[in-house]
Amino acid sequence: MEVIDNKEKNRFEANVKGELAIVEYSLKDEVISITHTEVPKALAGQGVGSKLTEAVLKHVEERGLKVKPLCPFTKKYIDKHPQWNEIVA
């Protein structure tokens, strides 16, 4: 799954089977706040949200940023995958 950072819209995007899954964010200083994750109903239950969230967290880590998981989905994902606690603001 290819994930792009659409900086103009402040969101990460993944086109999966012609459907757009997104993770919205805001960036302030060196902290990226994840505010919303949305996966189309057609893709529900296929792990798209988890794969997208993991890709976003890898992107945050590679850029040397910290993440503030305001989105319940992202927070739950990090709780289940504690290796990401290192980058939580």
Domain containing 79 — which CATH number? Answer: 3.40.630.30
Beta-bridged to residue 33, according to DSSP, are: 26, 68
Residue 27's SS3 state is strand
Residue 7's SS3 state is coil
Range of the domain at 68: 3-87
Question: Which contacts qualify for 18-26: CB closer than 8 Å, 24 or more apart?
Answer: 19/43, 21/48, 21/49, 21/52, 22/52, 23/52, 23/53, 23/56, 23/71, 23/74, 24/71, 25/56
**Domain total for the chain?**
1
pTM of the predicted model, to two decimals? 0.93
- pLDDT for residue 63: 95
5-62 pLDDT, tens digit per residue, is 999 999 999 999 999 999 999 999 999 999 999 999 999 999 999 999 999 999 999 9
